[in-house]
Structures are given as structure tokens and as C-alpha cells.
Chains A and B, each alone.
Chain A
Amino acid sequence: MPQGRPQGVQLTILLIAILALALIGLYFGRRRALGTAGTNLSKLHSMPSYHGWYVALWCGIPSGIVLVVWLVIQGPVLEALLLSYLGPQVAGQSDAMIGLLLNDVRNLASGDVVSRDVDPALQAAADRYASMKSTAGAAVLAIGLALGGAGFGWAWRRISPGLRARNKVERVVNIVLILSSCVAIVTTIGIVLSVLFESIRFFSIIPFWDFLFGLKWSPQTAIRADQVGSTGAFGAIPLFTGTLMITLIAMLVALPVGLFAAIYMAEFASPRFRNVVKPILEILAGVPTVVYGFFAALVVAPTIRGIGESIGLDVASESALAAGIVMGIMIIPFISSLSDDAIVAVPNALREGSLAMGATRSETVVKVILPAALHGIVAACLLAVSRAIGETMIVVMAAGLAANLTANPLDAVTTVTVQIVTLLVGDQEFDSAKTLAAFALGLMLFVVTLALNVFALHIARKYREQYD
């Protein structure tokens, strides 16, 4: 019978107990507040339910903090305790061997497979570990319950008509809101750091400038010394130009079509037409990109090739043009929908003002509406560009994997995202330059999209100042 379980059970008990205590606190806090107020509710500074929440929070927060802190620190603490127990056995061994031993002890204690024969010493260590763990769990349970009870008693005794329960509860709510808004920021920072550290490892193998300005991309490296294979080349320029070309083609397709569609729907279309067509256009945004990939690879690319051959051009079966066009179709809804919103948001007063000057509808659109909606349209475009840069599936299926450095849209090219995927697909070891290159590419992608977003914000703000 594995002996590690009881601690899990203890912590679950603690969690349930905390919640139950908080619920009880919620109910009795409210009742006590009502009791102290007597018949005259207006004597209370705060409404009774705030008193209830006050007690509940005093029950839940301190013991909750104990629980969370223990969950965070239990690993290192238990390991230190185990090491001090094992002391003489591990003396003089390397860190890696100690790590392996500790791992086996933990696995044995929780009943998992271990990497060596179980000898009595190991079994003893595992038993010791399990008992430490369960003792610690019991201690945490006791401390948590005691704190919860103490919090309950403290808050219960403080309840009086003059208690500013509302202010205190609202401050806690405030803190919860702040923490929630920090989640996204902290996650982003975490992602950046993880990518950054892997990238730094990559750049310790491949010089930064070779990566950034190298003209050849061929990430195959020999795994074993005696293997026949290329030495690998990690010049990212072909990937950048490929990404740039496909994005450019996509925007050349999407920007005019999307913008014209938005103008027509916002300014000229009858309400009936608009109500039918706008949702249909937005459905385009919901089509999975893999499906667009099929379309690109099976319909658009052969068509382009056929047309190219008929006029005597040599077109690769997987071309940047095909991928770019289909990607452009994919991002039309982004541009049309967001631009439409921006145009509709232009105050009607401006529209009437222009028409009353004897301007035609189209003069009004070009000279008044579009400038007024420009920041929204620019934001839509930059969002679309970010979408295009980050898009993977269409390019994998329609543009191929060949990292050609070319300005010819009829050649096969590849993009940053596609290379990240191909570098990380399959079984990979995480210390070769080939795999780490994916992180360096990811970092570049992140930096570029971040710069685009900052630029978009800047533009939006500049025009907003001028036009609102």
C-alpha cells in the first residue's frame, strides 16, 4: 500500500474544511450582524451580508495561505529532510547520482516504478520519506484548521454595528481583481523568459549574428560523431524573407477586399443585405486554417501552376503565391469586420455634415469617414499582419518547407512558424542546436509581433488625439 497518499488526503480534507468553515462563517456572520442590529437595520455600518463575507474571508484566507505556501515549499523541504536522513549513504556522490537516488526514493514511496533493485536501505528511506510526508501533511492540516478557527473566532468577536465590514471586504475584492489582471502579465513574462533562456543556449552554440544575418537555413545536424550528415546552417534570413513575402501577398489580397467590403457594408448596403452578408463573411473567420490549407494545396496552387504554365512561367507546385492568396482570404474577415466597426463608429454628425456640404456619398467616405476611422482600420491591419505572420498550417500545406532565399513569389518558400513546427515535431533531444533553433525563431517571432503591436498602439493613439 503506497504510503504517500495520506498527505494528499489530508490536504484535500483541509481544503474542504476551509471551504466549509467559510460557508459557516458566511451564514453566522450575517446572523450575528442581524442579531447585534436588533430591529433597526440602519444601525449597521455595513449590510449584514458584508459581515458574513467578513467572517468567511477571515476563515478562508489565512488557512488558504498556509495551504498554498506548503504546496509550494513542500518539495524542497522534504528533499532537504530526506538528504539529512540519508546523509552518510550519499556522501561523496555526484549531484546527478543523488538526484537519481532521491527520485527513486520518492517513486518507491508513492508506489511507482523505480530504476533499480529495491534493497532494504532504499525501502527504509522510502518509508521514512512517506512518514515525513504524512507527518508534515498532518501538521499543515492542524495549523490550517487552527488558523481557520482562530480567524472565525476573531472575526466573530469583532462583529458589531460599527464594524466597517463593507470597506474591508471590498478591499479584499480589490486585491483579487488586481491579482487576476496580473495573471496574463505574469504568464507572458514566464513565456518570454522560458523562450529567452532556451534562445540564449542556442546562441551559445550558434553566434547571434550568424543566425540573424545568415543566408542559408539547413538545420540538419549530425547527432553522432560518426554520422554522415550536414553540419547545419542556421541563417534565418530565408525564413524572414519567406514570412515577409507571404505576409505581403496576403495583405495585398486582404486589405483592398476587406476594406472595400467594410465600406460597402457600412455605408452603402441595405440593412437586409448587410444582415445576411456580414455574418457569412464572419463565418470565414471560423474556418479552421487546416481546411484553408487543403484549399490552398489542392485548388489554388494547381490553378496558379496551370495558369503559370499556360503563359510560359515556371511555377513551383507549392508556391508562396498560393499560400499568400489563401492566407489573404483567411484574414479578410478580420479586416472587414474590424474596419466595419470602425466605420460604423464614426459619428453620424460627420456624415451629415459632409453630405450637407453637397459632398457625394463617395466623397464623404473618402475624405471624412475613412480619415475618422483610420485608427481602427490601421489597428485592424496590424492585427491581420500579426495573424498572417503567426499562421502556420496554410504555409505548411501550400508553400512547402524549402528555405529558398528568393524574391520570386512563384517559388516555394517557408516561414518562421513552419520551421518551428518542423524542428520540434517528432522525437527530439533538447540540447542540440537544431531543436534550440526553434526557440530562437520563436523569440524573433515574439519580438516582431510585439514591435508591431507597440507600433499599432502608437498609431492608434496618435490618430485618436487628432481625430476624436
Chain B
Amino acid sequence: MTEDTDAMVSLMMDEEVAPAAAADPEAPPAPRTRMRARGVDVFYADKQALFDVDIDLAQNKVTALIGPSGCGKSTFLRCLNRMNDIIDICRVSGSITLDDRDIYGRDIDVVQLRARVGMVFQKPNPFPKSIYENVAYGPRIHGLANRGSELDDIVEHSLRRAGLFDEVSDRLQQPGTSLSGGQQQRLCIARAIAISPEVILMDEPCSALDPIATAKVEELIDELREHYTIAIVTHNMQQAARVSQFTAFFHLGVLVEFEATEQIFTNPHDQRTQDYITGRFG
């Protein structure tokens, strides 16, 4: 799988330009686009939940998806690693590419896709296993470690990167559910990065956490940006402003505005965006 990835990375070496970045003349050299969605429509049975969405996720950037409840931002996020496949009545059309390969294409195995596009959920959902086994889960099922010591290294590295290792190093064999909520969420992040994904999707990762735990996770997201491409759904506009470089505003299933975060929060083009970020609705 890694060879495959390398081949694709080399294919992608010519830089792609994100439209949002292009709109900002002050922006530094435009980042490379890893995932690109074009004309995405999503239907739940007969009801259309997303209308013609175009979004690019840029390498080493955090893209925030904001909007009022039921606007389709989580639905869009779940299209990016095909988690919507689990829902029988859900139908996705349009094109979504990862490194220019259509992730809904016939030649893409959803299992491999999800190994490259990891996900962190709204509510911390550690498996009913020990802390160690939670992080080792992905490497085990994907056969990333041949020996026990390699696995130990991956677990430690992932926990360190998630900023959790020092807190749990003396109790790795205790159940993951014995941790506090914020620690559980960081455990889930460690679990997601243990299989070295390229993109990490976060679906309101802080909505079940207290302010201190939220601050830690936000700090972590900013650090993770160095290695990964991140998309985060959030209800909290301060959070979007703090952690993201690009922001997409959804309303009623339509992508209203997709710009650099600074642009959205200081000088939005659309009246609806303006109303939402100033708290007039949603």
C-alpha cells in the first residue's frame, strides 16, 4: 500500500491551486490539494441533503466545515471516507478524488481508502479494549507491524503525537474507557494516526469535551497539521477561527462560501455567512 501511495504522491508533485487560496492575493505559495470534491450531491432516499458541493482539502492545512445543524456538513465529511456507504438509503453522486483518483471508482477498495482517510468522531468511541490495544488495532488489522517491538513503537509514537503518552504510559493495559472524556478523544486521535493516514476527518471532535480538554485537542490539531491534511466539522465558530486555515460555510445543503478562514471571519462575501458568524441565526 505504501508503494501505491508513493506512486501517487510523485504523480501529484506538480502543485495544484486551491481556488480559495487563489482568491487571496496575500496568500503564500498555494498549498497542494489532496482531496477534491466536485459537484457532490447526496440523497437520503428521496431527500437531497447536499447540492453540488465543490471543496478542496489542502495538504498540511486544516479546513473547517461550519454551518447550522442539519446543513449537511457532517454528511459531506462522511462522503470523504465513504462512511455513508454504511447507510443503505444514502446515495452519493459527483466526483471526490484523493490524489486525483476517484474514491468512488471501481478500482478503489473502501477498506484501503479508509486506511488513508482516517476519522475521529463526535463522541469519543474507544473500543472495549486496553489503551494499548486501542491504538494497536489499526496497525494489527493492516499488518503494519511484524514484531511486537515494532507495534510497541507505533503505539508509543502515536500516543506521543496525540499528546497522551505521558498521561497513560504507566497504565497502557487498562481499558480505554477508564480514561476521561478528553483523554478518550485524544486516544481516538492516536488510534486514527496509528495507521499513518494522509487525511484526517474530524466530526465535531470537541463537542463532548470540557473547555480544558477542548483546548488540548485544538492544540493537538494544530500540531497534527504539520503531518496531515485535516478536515474538521465544528459548531463552534471560535474553534473554526482558531484552528483552521480554510473555512467552508454550509447552509441547507448548499456550500455558501469557501474561503480562507481569515476572509470568512473578517469579510465574508455572502450575506448568509455574515449573518451566521455574527450569530443572527443557527
A interface residues, Cβ below 8 angstroms from B? 347, 349-360, 363, 367-368, 371-372, 466-468
Asked if B195 CB lies within 8 Å of chain A CBs, one says yes
Give 5 new A-B contacts, CB below 8 A, not counting A353-B188, A356-B121, A372-B127. A352-B83, A363-B141, A372-B128, A467-B128, A467-B175
Find A347's partner among B111, B114, B125, B175 (CB 8 Å cutoff). Answer: B125
Find B123's partner among A349, A355, A360 (CB 8 Å cutoff). Answer: A349
How far, in Å, is B196 (CB) from chain A's closest CB? 11
User: Which residue from chain B places its CB closest to the CB of A363 in the assembled complex?
Assistant: B141
- Determine whether the beta carbon of A357 is less than 8 Å from that of B83: no
Q: How far is the CA of A142 from the CA of B74 in the complex (A)?
A: 77
Question: Which B178-205 residues have a C-beta within 8 angstroms of A?
Answer: 188, 191-192, 195
> Cβ of B81: which chain A residues have Cβ within 8 Å of it?
356
Q: How far is the CA of A84 from the CA of B179 in the complex (A)?
A: 77
Asked if B268 CB lies within 8 Å of chain A CBs, one says no
Q: How far is the CA of A354 from the CA of B115 in the complex (A)?
A: 11
Asked if B68 CB lies within 8 Å of chain A CBs, one says no
- Determine whether the beta carbon of B192 is less than 8 Å from that of A357: yes
- Determine whether the beta carbon of A358 is less than 8 Å from that of B112: yes
Find B195's partner among A347, A353, A358, A367 (CB 8 Å cutoff). Answer: A358
- Determine whether the beta carbon of A352 is less than 8 Å from that of B86: yes
Q: How far is the CA of A368 from the CA of B191 in the complex (A)?
A: 14
> Cβ of A360: which chain B residues have Cβ within 8 Å of it?
111
How far, in Å, is A448 (CB) from chain B's closest CB? 31
Asked if B118 CB lies within 8 Å of chain A CBs, one says yes
> Cβ of A367: which chain B residues have Cβ within 8 Å of it?
127, 137, 141
- Determine whether the beta carbon of A349 is less than 8 Å from that of B128: no
Q: How far is the CA of A350 from the CA of B111 in the complex (A)?
A: 16
- Determine whether the beta carbon of B128 is less than 8 Å from that of A368: yes
- Determine whether the beta carbon of B141 is less than 8 Å from that of A466: no
> Cβ of B142: which chain A residues have Cβ within 8 Å of it?
358
> Cβ of B123: which chain A residues have Cβ within 8 Å of it?
349
User: Which residue from chain B places its CB closest to the CB of A372 in the assembled complex?
Assistant: B128
Asked if B31 CB lies within 8 Å of chain A CBs, one says no
- Determine whether the beta carbon of A355 is less than 8 Å from that of B128: no
Assuming the contacts A467-B128, A467-B177, A468-B177, asked whether A357 and B86 have C-beta atoms less than 8 A apart, the reply is no
Q: How far is the CA of A167 from the CA of B119 in the complex (A)?
A: 54
> Cβ of A351: which chain B residues have Cβ within 8 Å of it?
86
Q: How far is the CA of A360 from the CA of B118 in the complex (A)?
A: 14
Interchain Cβ contacts under 8 Å between A and B, 5 examples: A357-B114, A357-B118, A359-B137, A368-B128, A466-B128
Most buried by A among B127, B128, B177: B128
Q: How far is the CA of A371 from the CA of B141 in the complex (A)?
A: 16
- Determine whether the beta carbon of B177 is less than 8 Å from that of A357: no
Q: How far is the CA of A83 from the CA of B27 in the complex (A)?
A: 113
How far, in Å, is B24 (CB) from chain A's closest CB? 33
Find A353's partner among B111, B112, B125, B177 (CB 8 Å cutoff). Answer: B125
How far, in Å, is B103 (CB) from chain A's closest CB? 13
> Cβ of A347: which chain B residues have Cβ within 8 Å of it?
125
Q: How far is the CA of A466 from the CA of B119 in the complex (A)?
A: 25
- Determine whether the beta carbon of B114 is less than 8 Å from that of A356: yes
> Cβ of B118: which chain A residues have Cβ within 8 Å of it?
356-357
How far, in Å, is A375 (CB) from chain B's closest CB? 10
- Determine whether the beta carbon of B137 is less than 8 Å from that of A354: yes
Asked if B129 CB lies within 8 Å of chain A CBs, one says yes
Identify the 6 closest CB pairs spanning chains A and B, nearest first.
Answer: A358-B115, A467-B128, A349-B125, A356-B119, A358-B114, A353-B125
> Cβ of B121: which chain A residues have Cβ within 8 Å of it?
349, 352-353, 356
Question: Which B150-185 residues have a C-beta within 8 angstroms of A?
Answer: 175, 177
Assuming the contacts A359-B111, A467-B177, A468-B177, asked whether A354 and B86 have C-beta atoms less than 8 A apart, the reply is no
Asked if B138 CB lies within 8 Å of chain A CBs, one says yes
Question: Which B77-126 residues have a C-beta within 8 angstroms of A?
Answer: 81, 83, 86, 111-115, 118-119, 121, 123, 125
How far, in Å, is B227 (CB) from chain A's closest CB? 18
Q: How far is the CA of A212 from the CA of B29 in the complex (A)?
A: 87
How far, in Å, is B228 (CB) from chain A's closest CB? 15
Q: How far is the CA of A355 from the CA of B188 in the complex (A)?
A: 13
> Cβ of A368: which chain B residues have Cβ within 8 Å of it?
127-128, 137
Q: How far is the CA of A371 from the CA of B137 in the complex (A)?
A: 13
Q: How far is the CA of A347 from the CA of B83 in the complex (A)?
A: 16
User: Which residue from chain A places its CB closest to the CB of B122 in the assembled complex?
Assistant: A349
> Cβ of B113: which chain A residues have Cβ within 8 Å of it?
358
- Determine whether the beta carbon of A357 is less than 8 Å from that of B138: yes
- Determine whether the beta carbon of B129 is less than 8 Å from that of A355: no
Q: How far is the CA of A467 from the CA of B126 in the complex (A)?
A: 10
User: Which residue from chain A places its CB closest to the CB of B1 in the assembled complex?
Assistant: A358
- Determine whether the beta carbon of B112 is less than 8 Å from that of A357: no
Find A357's partner among B128, B175, B191 (CB 8 Å cutoff). Answer: B191
> Cβ of B119: which chain A residues have Cβ within 8 Å of it?
356
> Cβ of B125: which chain A residues have Cβ within 8 Å of it?
347, 349-350, 352-353
> Cβ of A466: which chain B residues have Cβ within 8 Å of it?
128, 175, 177
User: Which residue from chain B places its CB closest to the CB of A466 in the assembled complex?
Assistant: B175
- Determine whether the beta carbon of A355 is less than 8 Å from that of B175: no
Q: How far is the CA of A360 from the CA of B110 in the complex (A)?
A: 9
Most buried by B among A355, A363, A467: A355
Q: How far is the CA of A355 from the CA of B114 in the complex (A)?
A: 8
Q: How far is the CA of A349 from the CA of B114 in the complex (A)?
A: 16
- Determine whether the beta carbon of A353 is less than 8 Å from that of B175: no
Q: How far is the CA of A91 from the CA of B112 in the complex (A)?
A: 99
User: Which residue from chain B places its CB closest to the CB of A270 in the assembled complex?
Assistant: B88
> Cβ of B188: which chain A residues have Cβ within 8 Å of it?
353
Q: How far is the CA of A363 from the CA of B136 in the complex (A)?
A: 14
Find B111's partner among A349, A358, A467 (CB 8 Å cutoff). Answer: A358
> Cβ of A352: which chain B residues have Cβ within 8 Å of it?
83, 86, 121, 125
How far, in Å, is B193 (CB) from chain A's closest CB? 11
- Determine whether the beta carbon of A371 is less than 8 Å from that of B138: no
How far, in Å, is A369 (CB) from chain B's closest CB? 9
How far, in Å, is A468 (CB) from chain B's closest CB? 7
How far, in Å, is B189 (CB) from chain A's closest CB? 12
Assuming the contacts A350-B127, A466-B128, asked whether A355 and B83 have C-beta atoms less than 8 A apart, the reply is yes
Q: How far is the CA of A354 from the CA of B128 in the complex (A)?
A: 11
Find B138's partner among A349, A358, A467, A468 (CB 8 Å cutoff). Answer: A358
Q: How far is the CA of A56 from the CA of B92 in the complex (A)?
A: 67
> Cβ of B129: which chain A residues have Cβ within 8 Å of it?
371
Q: How far is the CA of A358 from the CA of B199 in the complex (A)?
A: 13
Q: How far is the CA of A356 from the CA of B83 in the complex (A)?
A: 7
How far, in Å, is B144 (CB) from chain A's closest CB? 11
How far, in Å, is B178 (CB) from chain A's closest CB? 9
Q: How far is the CA of A355 from the CA of B123 in the complex (A)?
A: 16
Q: How far is the CA of A360 from the CA of B195 in the complex (A)?
A: 15
